[in-house]
Chains A and B, each alone.
Chain A
Amino acid sequence: MASKAERPISPHLGIYRRGVHMMASITHRATGFILATAGMLTLLWWLSSIGGGEESYQTFLTYVVDAGEEATGFQTASNWFFRLLALGVIFSFFQHLFSGIRHLVMDMGAGFELNANRTSAWLVFIAAFTATGLVALYVIYEYLDLGA
Chain B
Amino acid sequence: MGSGTNIGKVRGLGSAGHGSEHWINQRISALGNLLLTLWLAASLFWLPDYTHKTVAEWLAQPSVAVPMILLLVSVFWHVRLGLQVFIEDYVHNEGNKLALLVLLNFYVIGGAAFGIFTVAKHAFAGTPV
| A positions within 8 Å CB-CB of B | 9-11, 29, 32-33, 36, 40-41, 43-44, 47-48, 50-54, 57-58, 93, 97, 100-101, 103-104, 107
Q: Name the residue of chain B whose CB is nearest to the CB of A32.
A: B82
| B positions within 8 Å CB-CB of A | 27, 30-31, 33-34, 37, 52, 55-56, 59, 68, 75-76, 79, 82-83, 86, 89, 92, 111, 114-115, 118-119, 121-122, 127-129
Complex CA gap A100/B89 in Å reads 19
Residues of chain B contacted by A9 (CB below 8 angstroms): 92
Contact between A10 and B89, CB atoms less than 8 A apart: yes
The CB with the most chain B CB atoms within 10 A, among A10, A41, A43, is that of A43
With A9-B92, A32-B82, A32-B83 already in contact, the answer to whether A51 and B34 are too (CB < 8 A) is no
Complex CA gap A7/B34 in Å reads 38
7 contacting pairs across A/B (C-beta < 8 A): A44-B111, A47-B119, A48-B118, A51-B59, A51-B127, A53-B127, A57-B56
Contact between B115 and A51, CB atoms less than 8 A apart: no
Partner of A44, one of B33, B56, B118: B118
Residues of chain B contacted by A11 (CB below 8 angstroms): 89
With A58-B52, A104-B27 already in contact, the answer to whether A53 and B128 are too (CB < 8 A) is yes
Contact between A36 and B34, CB atoms less than 8 A apart: no
Known: A10-B89, A11-B89, A54-B129. 5 other contacts (CB 8 A): A29-B82, A50-B127, A52-B128, A57-B52, A57-B56
Contact between A40 and B128, CB atoms less than 8 A apart: no
Partner of A50, one of B30, B79, B111, B122: B122
Q: Which 5 A-B pairs have the closest CB atoms?
A: A51-B122, A36-B79, A57-B52, A53-B128, A48-B118
